[in-house]
Amino acid sequence: MLDIPLCVRVDVDAVIAAQIDMGVCDAIEQNAPAGGLAAMSAPHLPKVAGINSAVAAPAQTAAPLAHAPGALIQDRLAGWVSDLTTLHELTERLARTGSLDEALDELLHAGATLVGARRGMAVLEPADGRGPASTVGLGLARADLGHIETVPRSATGYGRILDSGTPGIPGPVAQADLLHDATLDPRHREVAARLGYAASYALPLATEEAGRLGVAVWFYDEPAEPVDRQRHLVGLYGRYATEHLARMLELERTRHQMAAIADELLPGRLPRVPGVRLAARHLTGPRGGGEWYDALPLPEGALGLAVGSVSGSGPSALAATSRLRAGLRAYAVMEGEDPVAVLSDLELLLRLTEPARSATALFAYCEPAPAALGDGAGSKIVLAGAGHTPPLIVGRHRTEFVETSLSAPLGMLACWEAPSVEFSPAPGETVLLYTDGLLRRTGDPMDRAFARLHTAAASVPRALRDDPGAVADHVLRTVLPGPGPGAPDAGRDGEDAVVLAARFD
């Protein structure tokens, strides 16, 4: 048996069994001579004027070809096997998608193959109202989708399905000839003529278990509609796709919730301290990792900067992140001028609250020197790191990593200790603090990832170097693959990443 997902295999087997029985009976009935089964192997010529069909054909004359029932059955079985093979391949491709957008795109491509259309549109609109709601197209630009959305929903096939108030699962809606349908809404006819489609077939994305998730609709360039065989196959595929979309939808909702929680655990806004300007970028991965940052004003005009990473992912990692960040803020206020003491206390907190977890952290005690004072004193930074990546200084005359001492992550040793490092950023220089998630997102080995980061920082245009946010954005766009809003997206396998930029006057 073909390796078809269970929910598809059960429905197909039942239909095939019925169709095979029907096909065999039909073939025998249509081809069996009146004399019974024994006469099936004998030639049977049609009655034609001047020919006695009861007389056997001469031996030297080729016997007429009979349409054997076995050949008809084999043709039908070959067609069914071909359809099932196609269905199996399409469902396998759908099962390999890992996000809601990928699943919707694959659904449209597979459905277009099954119904013989070239363009399509999927409208995700879960009946429970929890979202997310979206519309994606196949062969249609965003402007085209906008034109379709101007048509009254009640006049469209997908609108009838989405707005159906009847209980149960609505059936598909075929509109075979839009341009010559006298009952069609004029706006619908106008949009169809503008976009160049003449027919549509809408399939509900709904099952008893998943409920109604949305609808998929495919557009034909000429008046047409799927035949029964195509409707049957796309219906089977649609039921499997709906179950897969339901799983992807729940995963997407969980990701949004994890991202919202992670953002709430980070600073809502950065402090304003004379002599330094701050900017932060936080990229959230699908697993909800434990990358975090913090910036807090300290007594006597000082500033505390921190970044860190907690091992693991998910809600437990977020909870550990919240505890460590709250603890670090308390320790920084009490003894922030000694970063080693801050991290030592943080390590004790981690061992008491999360004995099975480790974490990396870097804390910097900054004493900015505002240019307005004009006393000639420069800014000073004292920092300590626990297994964390070194900061990067970006300036007009240098781009270099700060040399920090080797140290173990928090929670790895019975007693953590490491020396602190002091350095002075020049006026106009930006100090970048970042987590190792940024390096892992590149997919390169660590040495190449560090080189990639250094090259990106060195290539910041001079016009952007006065803005720490622009510096962080340029570094992210250059280091990480893929486009994204304000910063790139490494895809569904990306980890959390943090960049904290501090420009000193």
Residue in the block written with tokens 């002599």: 275
Q: By three-state DSSP, how is residue 280 classified?
A: strand
Beta strands in 169-251 (DSSP E): 173-175, 199-207, 211-220
What Å distances lie between residue 213 and 22, 92, 125, 146, CA to CA? 35, 21, 6, 21
**What does the pLDDT look like over 240-286, one tens digit per residue?**
999 999 999 998 888 888 777 777 778 888 999 999 999 999 988 76
166/17: higher pLDDT: 166
Mean pLDDT of 402-427: 85
Predicted confidence band of residue 355 (pLDDT cuts 50, 70, 90): confident
**What does the pLDDT look like over 448-492, one tens digit per residue?**
999 999 999 999 999 999 999 999 999 999 998 764 434 444 444
Query: CA-based Rg of the chain, rounded to a whole angstrom?
Result: 34
**What does the pLDDT look like over 356-395, one tens digit per residue?**
899 999 999 999 986 544 454 579 999 999 999 999 999 9
- The candidate with the shortest Cα–Cα distance to 476, out of 502, 442, 443, 451, is 442
Between 9-13, 91-95, 426-430, 480-484, the lowest mean confidence (pLDDT) is in 9-13
Backbone angles phi, psi at 106, to 5 degrees: -65, -35
**Residue 41: is its pLDDT beyond 50?**
no
Cα 361 from Cα 346, distance rounded (Å): 9
List, in order, residues 6 or more apart from 159 with CB less than 8 Å away.
151, 152, 153
Predicted confidence band of residue 320 (pLDDT cuts 50, 70, 90): confident
Which pLDDT score is estimated for 453?
96
Predicted confidence band of residue 119 (pLDDT cuts 50, 70, 90): very high
Highest average pLDDT, of 62-71, 435-444, 447-456, comes from 447-456
Cα 25 from Cα 224, distance rounded (Å): 32
What Å distances lie between residue 121 and 142, 191, 240, CA to CA? 11, 15, 18
Mean pLDDT of 301-306: 95
Please report how the helices 69-95 and 100-115 are oriented relative to each other, as an axis angle in degrees rounded to 10: 160
- The candidate with the shortest Cα–Cα distance to 465, out of 369, 381, 394, 392, is 394
Cα three-residue angle 497-499-503, rounded to 5 degrees: 180
**Residue 2: is its pLDDT beyond 50?**
no
**Using an 8 Å Cβ cutoff, are 255 and 277 in contact?**
no
Which pLDDT score is estimated for 495?
78
Which pLDDT score is estimated for 22?
42
Q: What is the rounded average pLDDT for all residues in the chain? A: 82
Mean pLDDT of 97-103: 91
Residue type, 342: V
290 class by beta-carbon count within 10 Å (0-12 exposed, 13-18 middle, 19+ buried): buried
Q: By three-state DSSP, how is residue 204 classified?
A: strand
**Residue 298: is its pLDDT beyond 80?**
yes
Cα 411 from Cα 349, distance rounded (Å): 9
**Using an 8 Å Cβ cutoff, are 294 and 362 in contact?**
no
Beta strands in 48-172 (DSSP E): 119-124, 134-138
Mean pLDDT of 211-230: 94
Cα 282 from Cα 263, distance rounded (Å): 8
Which pLDDT score is estimated for 182?
87
In the chain, what percentage of residues exceed pLDDT 70?
A: 81
Mean pLDDT of 225-237: 94
Which pLDDT score is estimated for 287?
65
**Using an 8 Å Cβ cutoff, are 100 and 109 in contact?**
no
Cα 271 from Cα 472, distance rounded (Å): 17
Cα 409 from Cα 359, distance rounded (Å): 6
**Residue 101: is its pLDDT beyond 60?**
yes
101/164: higher pLDDT: 101
Between 67-81, 173-187, 382-396, 454-468, the lowest mean confidence (pLDDT) is in 67-81
**Residue 44: is its pLDDT beyond 90?**
no
Predicted confidence band of residue 494 (pLDDT cuts 50, 70, 90): low
Predicted confidence band of residue 404 (pLDDT cuts 50, 70, 90): confident
**Using an 8 Å Cβ cutoff, are 135 and 159 in contact?**
no
Residue in the block written with tokens 């907190």: 349
Which pLDDT score is estimated for 371?
52
Between 71-80, 342-351, 435-444, the lowest mean confidence (pLDDT) is in 71-80
DSSP structure class, residue 435: -
